[in-house]
Structure 1
C-alpha cells in the first residue's frame, strides 16, 4: 500500500512567507512518521492516512491561527497501482475484506466524535473517488450518509460536499472518508480544499 497527499498552503497575505514558515513547526511531531518532499508547487506527505491527515490539520491550523485568510489544497491518494508498496504506509484498516457499509459508517462516526477540538473554525469541500470497483456509487452514497451525521456537514454542492466546523472534526471526517470507503486495498483519492478566516464569512 502507498498512501499520502500532495498539499499546497496559500495564506492570502503580503507576509505569506512568514505565515508558512511559522506554521511549518507544526509538522515536527510527525517527521519521524512521514516522508516529506517539497518543491515549488506542493509538499508530498507519505505515511499512514491518520498521520498524514493529522499533520495536514496541524499545519493548516497553525497557519490559520495567524488570523490571515488561509487556504489549503490537497490531493490524497491511497492504493494507487502505479505506486510502489511502502512499509511506512501500512495500517490495519487497509487490510482484509470490505466490511458491511453500516459497520464502517458507525466506525467513522465513532472516530470523529472522539476527536478533541482544535479551536479553529474551518470550511472545506471535498470529492471522494473510489476507483476500480463496480459498486463505487454505493461507497460514495454510504460516505455521504456518514458525512450528514458527522456534525460538520454543511451542504451538498455540484461535484463535492461542503463541511463547516472546527478544524479537528473537519479533517477527521475527511480522513474517515478516505479510509472507510472504497476497497481497503483499492485505489481511493480525495480532492480537498480547506479555508479559514475568509472575508466572505464576515
Structure 2
C-alpha cells in the first residue's frame, strides 16, 4: 500500500473531458487545443480525459480557454472537470511551478461573450467546518453569476468567462481558508438547444 501523506505541494490539477455534440467533434477539440497556449502547464491527453497540472492560475487559464474556443464554434459543448489541489498532492510536475503569475490566454478570450449553464460542487477536505466553507463560497459566486440550488450541486447561469473566474476565486479562497485538500467538480454546457 502506498503511503499517501500530506505535503506542502501547491501543484493544482484538473482532469477534464470536452464533448462537442457534433459530427465535427474531432476538429472542434483539436482546434480548441491548437488555439490555446499551454506552455505554462503540464498536459496529457489519454483516451478518456485530459489532465492539466501546474499553478492554479494557469490550470484555470488553460481550461477556460479550451472551453471558450470550443464553444465559439456555436456547437453544443459539454465540459466535465474535476479540479484538485493539496493532500495527497502531486509528486511530480514541479517544473511548471516556477512560472510567473501572468495567464497567457487571458487577453485572447477576456472579451468573449458566451452564455452558459453550469453546476459545481465544492469539497474542502480535511476540515471540520466544511459546510460553512461551502455555503460561504456559494454566496461568493453570486457576485459573478446567477446562482440557484440543485440536488448535489449548485446551479450557475451567466457568461462563461464570469463563471470560470468565479469558480477560480471560490477554489482559491477555499484553499486559503485552510483546506488541506480541495476538490471541485464542474459541469458546463454551452449552445444547448435546451437553453433557448
Cα distance in 2 for partners of 1:17, 1:116 equals 25
Cα distance in 2 for partners of 1:141, 1:178 equals 13
Cα distance in 2 for partners of 1:173, 1:82 equals 23
Question: How many residues get paired?
Answer: 178
- Say which structure is richer in helix: 1
TM-score of the aligned structures, taking structure 1 as reference length:
0.81
Shift, 1:190, TM fit: 0.5
CA RMSD of aligned residues (A): 2.2
Specify every segment of 5 or more residues in structure 1 that has no aligned partner in the other structure, as ranges: 92-114
Are 2:42 and 2:93, in contact at CA under 8 Å, matched by a contact in 1?
no
Cα distance in 2 for partners of 1:89, 1:185 equals 20
1:159 maps to 152
Are 1:49 and 1:89, in contact at CA under 8 Å, matched by a contact in 2?
no
Give the 5 Å matches for 1:52-201. Answer: 52-81=59-88, 83-84=90-91, 86-87=93-94, 88-89=96-97, 116-148=110-142, 150-182=143-175, 183-184=177-178, 186-201=180-195
Structure 1 stretches (4+) deviating beyond 4 angstroms?
182-185
Are 1:23 and 1:59, in contact at CA under 8 Å, matched by a contact in 2?
yes
Specify every segment of 5 or more residues in structure 2 that has no aligned partner in the other structure, as ranges: 1-8, 100-108
Shift, 1:186, TM fit: 1.2
1:112 maps to none
TM-score of the aligned structures, taking structure 2 as reference length:
0.83
